[in-house]
Structure 1
Amino acid sequence: MYPSAPPDAYNTYSAGAPPTAPPPPATYQQKMNTPRPGSGLTRWSTGLFHCMDDPGNCLITCLCPCITFGQVADIVDKGNCPCLASGSVYALICASTGMGCLYSCFYRSKLRAQYDLDEGECPDFLVHCCCEYCALCQEYRELKNRGFDLGIGWSANMDRQKRGVTGAQVMGAPAIPVGMMR
């Protein structure tokens, strides 16, 4: 009824070395820092819709996107236009025309050019026009993942780099030792 299998069909590895294990999968950071085939550009460190990777920034961006935009613009402009000025211009454009996305997409393009980031499937103006808050959050996370503390501005970040301070230290309550204490 069924054709018989050849004698070696169930023992394919009998005539040689056992198969080798596949190489370990690349980490997420390795995948993001590798260029896309044929483009030579690196990928964003987080996706466009990964807003909840930083819920605090997501909340601030939803309530007042001019703050996030101002912080991003300050770093992208390398301190030439301070956070307050950039955020104020963005807020005025949004209040008067509702088209702040046209202003902010310019900074996305500038950020991509500075760090050789891939544009992706959608052009910058379309990303900002359709998903303004998500785009601002992604740009914020990208700069944060590149070692910037967006809350202190460009000049303080440069001072921090000159001193060799790595990573942002959060000021607050002193650390409490873990374990049983009496």
Structure 2
Amino acid sequence: MYPSAPPDAYNKFSAGAPPTTPPPATYQQTMNTPRPGGGLTRWSTGLFHCTDDPGNCLITCLCPCITFGQIVDIVDRGTCPCLASGSLYALICASTAMGCLYSCIYRSKLRAQYDLEEGECPDFLVHCFCEYCALCQEYRELKNRGFDLGIGWSANTDRQRRGVTGASVMGAPAMPVGMLR
């Protein structure tokens, strides 16, 4: 009534080992691998992932000139100190409320340094309509690339030269491993 199936039709792997598929790429591999056709990499976090770093999110909402100054210090490789750029940003915001005109320049510089994609909107529009989110994203990008923005460019280069990777993170105290009794 039904045609009979060949003997190994029910056991596809009877002739040897099952075919292997390559393991999925890790997050770090996908971040550092250029995309086909574009050659640009993606941002390490999204524009609206501000709460991924709640401390920076709060500081940026209360006083964005601090976050902006820290970003400029790293992007300009220490040529424009944090205090100077943050003060200029605060002055522009207080006098014209157009700090986005100044800050979008540094988003473009950051993208050029690390070959980051622009996204759906140009840098100018991102900063005009989502200023605080853009600053938080830029801060997180530099932080995810190994910079400690709180210590500035020169201290980061000193740490890199000494071979120190990453800052100590405050959090819960370390617990001893193993049985305690």
Q: Classify the secondary structure of the residue corresponding to 2:135.
A: helix
Find the partner of 1:178 among 170, 176, 179. 176
Q: Deviations over 1:17-57 (max 9, x none)?
A: 78635433222222222222211111111111111211111
1:51-99 Cα offsets, whole Å, 9 max, x none, are 1211111111111111000000011111111001100111111111111
Task: Indicate if the aligned counterparts of 1:71 and 1:153 stay in contact, CA closer than 8 A.
Answer: yes
Identify if the C-alpha distance between structure 1 residues 14 and 149 changes in structure 2 by more than 3 Å, giving closer, same or farther: closer
Q: Which amino acid aligns with 1:51?
A: C
Partner of 1:124: 123
* TM-score for both structures, normalised by structure 2: 0.84
Question: 2:21 matched to 1:47?
Answer: no
Query: Residue in 2 aligned with 1:97?
Result: 96
Once residues 65 and 145 of structure 2 are traced to their aligned partners in structure 1, the CA distance between those partners, rounded to angstroms, is 21
- Deviation of 1:157 after TM superposition, in Å, equals 0.9
Tell me, yes or no, if the aligned pair for 1:34 and 1:43 is still in contact at 8 Å.
no
Q: Does 1:166 align with 2:168?
A: no
Q: Distance in 1 between matches of 2:15 and 2:168?
A: 56
- The residue aligned with 1:69 is 68
The answer for unaligned runs of 5 or more in structure 1 is: none
Moved over 4 A (4+): 4-8, 10-19, 170-173, 179-182
Looking at structure 2, the residues matched to 52 and 78 of structure 1 have their Cα atoms a distance apart, in angstroms, of: 27
When residues 5 and 122 of structure 1 are mapped into structure 2, their CA distance, relative to the original with a 3 A threshold, is farther
Aligned to 1:88, the other structure's residue is in SS state helix
> Unaligned regions of 5+ residues in structure 2, if any?
none
Aligned CA RMSD, in angstroms, stands at: 2.9
130-139 or 156-165: bigger deviation = 156-165
Encode CA deviations 1:145-180: one digit per residue, 9 max, x unaligned: 11111001111111111222111125799x554367
Q: CA 1:113 to 1:178, structure 2 compared with 1: closer, same or farther past 3 Å?
A: same
Is this contact kept in 2: 1:101–1:132, CA < 8 A?
yes
Q: Taking structure 1 as reference, are residues 176 and 144 closer, same or farther at Cα in structure 2, changes over 3 Å only?
A: closer
Aligned partners of 1:45 and 1:145 also within 8 Å: yes
Of residues 19-28 and 156-165 in structure 1, the stretch that sits farther from structure 2 once superposed is 19-28
Determine the C-alpha separation between the residues in 1 that align with 2:11 and 2:105.
Answer: 59
Aligned-partner Cα distance in 2 for 1:32–1:69:
24
User: Is this contact kept in 2: 1:75–1:150, CA < 8 A?
Assistant: yes
**Who is 2:110 aligned against?**
111
